[in-house]
């Protein structure tokens, strides 16, 4: 089953518009709606707490799955988050997905929130959240959290709620194969996606895990127009966001990127003038080839072909970042052409 979701336009739109986008996404026949769970973001704009926004969308929709893309294990105690997610899952009648990652400096360092051992913290966070959902009571003595006779007085309707890892590095891909319910990485080429998904499958195999219900997803920028250059020009303006990671670009093309542009640039930069300049500098190394490979861009025919390339690479759940040039045209293209074509294949 191939699913199509859409990312809410944070930090571009005000809160009331985000809710409207969520409702329109369901009406357009999409399978899911997602929200970036941040305190701060690049580019600068309106960054709300996404949990009440998603709760409103959940209360006014009937079918679509609703997820974070992604949350982190640093800003909220796992018991509080487990309770929030369980409540939202009850509101939605079992349609919530928790996207989880190791986190970014921009969400914590400005606020003096501790950000140590992020991957180990993410693994422990996942364990205790699931235990709180599944068990009547838990005792736990971990490296980061300790629980004594702890329990929740609400459980998710879909229990446990699926947890998808962002997993953009080799270590986190290994962990994804071992314990996650799905994978939700940032943009990359179909070839690189296939390679990284293989790493996840191999990690699962090593621990004797069968991935029958595992859902490989992809967070991907999309620009569709009748003329190729019109679509491409919109992604050229945000080339650093499309490529996202110097490490990914280096792995895919062997491009030489200066060492001061960290391999994990987006996860390490702060929302300051200097941080934004660094990210813009990285964009100067992102070629048109990278943009084309790491996104779904061009004419409707170009984009249909690219979707199929990603499907063949193993993507089962697309999270589209709709960059227009006409967002309505993009939405209608997927609603009327792409989504029905994959529905028909499933019959």
* pLDDT of the residue at 121: 98
| Helix residue ranges per DSSP H, the chain | 15-27, 50-59, 78-92, 118-134, 170-179, 190-206, 228-236, 239-243, 246-253, 265-268, 273-283, 288-294, 300-313, 327-333, 339-346
Beta strand 182-183 with 163-165 is: parallel
CA distances from residue 306 to 233, 337, 343 in whole angstroms, order as listed: 18, 14, 17
Which residue carries 């518009």 as its tokens? 17
User: Hey, what domains does the chain have and what are their CATH numbers?
Assistant: 3-238+295-346 (3.20.20.30)
Indicate the DSSP class of residue 4: E
CA distance 327 to 91: 29
Indicate the DSSP class of residue 169: S
CA distances from residue 122 to 43, 74, 202 in whole angstroms, order as listed: 25, 8, 21
* pLDDT of the residue at 63: 98
* pLDDT of the residue at 346: 44
> Quick check: pTM over 0.85?
yes
* pLDDT of the residue at 263: 85
- 68 forms beta bridges with 35
- 97 forms beta bridges with 67
Structure tokens at 166: 């962002």
CB within 8 Å of 27: residues ≥ 6 apart: none
Maximum distance among all alpha carbons in the chain? 62
Indicate the DSSP class of residue 71: B
* pLDDT of the residue at 345: 52
* pLDDT of the residue at 344: 63
* pLDDT of the residue at 83: 98
CA distance 317 to 119: 24
pLDDT along the chain (347 residues), means of 10: 97 98 98 98 95 98 98 98 98 98 96 95 98 98 98 98 97 98 97 98 98 97 98 97 93 89 91 94 96 98 98 98 97 98 68
**Are 131 and 63 spatial neighbours (Cβ–Cβ below 8 Å)?**
no
- DSSP state string for 49-68: -HHHHHHHHHHT-SS-EEEE
Structure tokens at 283: 């964009």
* pLDDT of the residue at 31: 98
CA distance 166 to 196: 12
CA dihedral for 43, 61, 211, 181, sign (positive or negative): positive
Question: What are 260-267's contacts with CB under 8 Å, separation 24+?
Answer: 261/285, 264/169, 266/42, 266/104, 267/102, 267/103, 267/104, 267/105
Structure tokens at 333: 């293209």
CA distances from residue 156 to 82, 133, 134 in whole angstroms, order as listed: 9, 7, 9
């Amino acid at each position: 089953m191939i699913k199509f979701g859409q990312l809410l336009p944070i930090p571009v739109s005000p809160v009331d518009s985000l809710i409207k986008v969520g409702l329109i996404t369901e009406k357009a026949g999409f399978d899911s709606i997602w929200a970036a769970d941040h305190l701060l973001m690049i580019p600068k704009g309106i960054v709300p707490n996404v949990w009440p926004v998603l709760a409103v969308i959940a209360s006014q929709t009937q079918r679509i799955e609703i997820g974070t893309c992604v949350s982190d294990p640093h800003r909220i105690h796992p018991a509080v988050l487990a309770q929030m997610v369980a409540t939202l899952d009850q509101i939605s009648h079992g349609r919530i997905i928790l996207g989880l990652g190791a986190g970014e400096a921009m969400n914590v360092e400005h606020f003096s929130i501790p950000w140590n051992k992020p991957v180990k913290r993410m693994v422990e966070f996942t364990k205790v959240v699931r235990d709180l959902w599944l068990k009547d009571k838990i005792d736990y003595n971990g490296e980061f959290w300790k629980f004594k006779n702890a329990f929740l007085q609400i459980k998710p309707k879909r229990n446990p709620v699926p947890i998808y890892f962002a997993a953009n590095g080799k270590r986190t891909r290994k962990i994804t194969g071992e314990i996650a319910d799905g994978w939700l990485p940032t943009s990359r080429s179909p070839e690189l996606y296939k390679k990284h998904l293989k790493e996840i499958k191999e990690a699962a195999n090593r621990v004797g895990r069968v991935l029958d219900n595992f859902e490989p997803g992809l967070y991907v920028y999309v620009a569709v127009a009748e003329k190729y250059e019109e679509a491409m020009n919109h992604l050229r303006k945000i080339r650093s966001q499309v490529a996202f990671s110097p490490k990914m670009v280096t792995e895919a093309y062997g491009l030489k990127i200066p060492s001061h542009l960290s391999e994990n640039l987006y996860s390490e930069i702060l929302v300051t003038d200097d941080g934004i300049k660094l990210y813009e500098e990285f964009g100067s190394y992102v070629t048109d080839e990278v943009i084309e490979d790491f996104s779904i861009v061009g004419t409707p025919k170009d984009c249909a072909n690219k979707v199929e390339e990603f499907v063949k690479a193993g993507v089962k759940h697309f999270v589209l970042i709709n960059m227009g040039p006409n967002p309505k045209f993009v939405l209608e293209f997927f609603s009327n052409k792409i989504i029905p074509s994959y529905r028909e294949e499933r019959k």
